[in-house]
Amino acid sequence: MSFIDIGLGNLAQVSRIVTVASPDTAPIKRLVQDAKDEGRAIDVSCGQKTRSVLVTDCGLVLLSALETEEILARLKNGED
């Protein structure tokens, strides 16, 4: 089981991540709002601006303060 740091000491299981997206597009904004309304959103940005949205295979939506490119780089490098 492999984990990745998604910012501010928070970890996500790599095998469960389906997509990493920018929070600026309308479809992602709707996805985040729906997840918040349904209690499926986990905000791990600790009060900072949300810079990326991670969607898991179980339907959870993780809101991270890291840029999408930084998370992608960590996934490619296999960093924890």
CB 68 within 8 A of CB 20: yes
Confidence of residue 79 (pLDDT cuts 50, 70, 90): low
Q: What angle do CA 42, 73, 40 make, to 5 degrees?
A: 15
Distance CA 36, CA 32 (A): 6
Which residue in the block uniquely carries the two structure tokens 């924890």? 80
Q: Where are the domains of the chain?
A: 3-77
Q: How many CB atoms lie within 10 A of CB 30?
A: 10
Tokens 């940005």 label which residue?
45
pTM above 0.75, yes or no: yes
pLDDT grade for 80, boundaries at 50, 70 and 90: very low
17 vs 78, residue with greater confidence: 17
User: What are 79's two structure tokens?
Assistant: 């960093």
